[in-house]
A and B are shown apart, each in its own frame.
Chain A
Amino acid sequence: DVKVTQSSRYLVKRTGEKVFLECVQDMDHENMFWYRQDPGLGLRLIYFSYDVKMKEKGDIPEGYSVSREKKERFSLILESASTNQTSMYLCASNPLDRRDTEAFFGQGTRLTVV
């Protein structure tokens, strides 16, 4: 069974803290994505990566950075958490060379910044 695993289901952090969200996939996919999901706004792409150490900005990268040191792991970093970053964060992966294959999602991390 294919899997995308996010390290935490729920996180509560204080304003100004540095926050790390971790994601691991076991499908040997080249692409990995970080989205945030907010009511009425759907899923908005923060960053994606198509290879180790490669990253591309998505639609809302401000306030975030990412790290991909290994193919299976993609980390989202909030350098200085703010209350407007309270959201559900979803990680996904898909293969770069198989356009008929869908993206697979983790269970999500609900982050609350207080």
Chain B
Amino acid sequence: AQSVSQHNHHVILSEAASLELGCNYSYGGTVNLFWYVQYPGQHLQLLLKYFSGDPLVKGIKGFEAEFIKSKFSFNLRKPSVQWSDTAEYFCAVTSGGYQKVTFGTGTKLQVIP
């Protein structure tokens, strides 16, 4: 069965600091990878996705992620965070014929002004 690990549960950064959130998955076949964001009181929204091609993908609001197949990783990055990036971030994977979505446990990001 596929699984997703997010090792950072709670991250606190000052504004303008750089961000990197780790995500590792376990699945030997072809995967599609996603990062979702949940702002306080709002529903889950897609930040970015990877399904093929360039392993460096860019998403909304200045976020990017790099797929490293050899490391089974899909880390999320942002060069300079803003207070408005305070949210919970979830890494997710789909694979197999049914495109079932498996999520990591999430990382709460708190950005201090």
**Contact surface of A with B, Cβ cutoff 8 Å:** 31, 33, 35, 40-45, 48, 50, 56, 90, 92, 94-96, 99-100, 102-103, 105-108
B99 at the interface (CB under 8 A from A): yes
Report the separation of the CA atoms of residues A96 and B100 in the bound assembly, to the nearest whole angstrom.
9
Taking beta carbons and an 8 Å cutoff, which residues of B are in contact with A? 6, 9, 32, 34, 36, 42-46, 49, 51-52, 90, 92, 94, 98-106
Q: From DSSP, what is the main secondary structure of chain A's interface residues?
A: strand
**Are A42 and B99 closer than 8 Å at their CB atoms?**
no
CA distance A87 to B36 in the complex (A): 20
Considering the chains assembled together, what is the distance between the CA atoms of A44 and B36 in angstroms? 15
CB-based closest 5 A-B pairs: A42-B105, A43-B103, A105-B44, A100-B51, A107-B43
Q: How far is the CB of A91 from chain B (nearest CB, A)?
A: 10
Q: Which residues of B contact A50 (CB under 8 A)?
A: 98
Known interface pairs A42-B105, A99-B94, A102-B34. Does A48 touch B51 (Cβ–Cβ under 8 Å)?
A: no
Q: Which residues of A contact B42 (CB under 8 A)?
A: 107
Option from A40, A43, A45 in Cβ contact (under 8 Å) with B90: A43
Compute how far the CA of A103 lies from the CA of B98 in the bound complex, rounded to whole angstroms. Answer: 12
Please report the C-alpha to C-alpha distance between residue A14 and residue B102 in the assembled complex, in whole angstroms.
31
Closest to B51 in A: A100
Task: State whether B101 touches A42 (Cβ < 8 A).
Answer: no
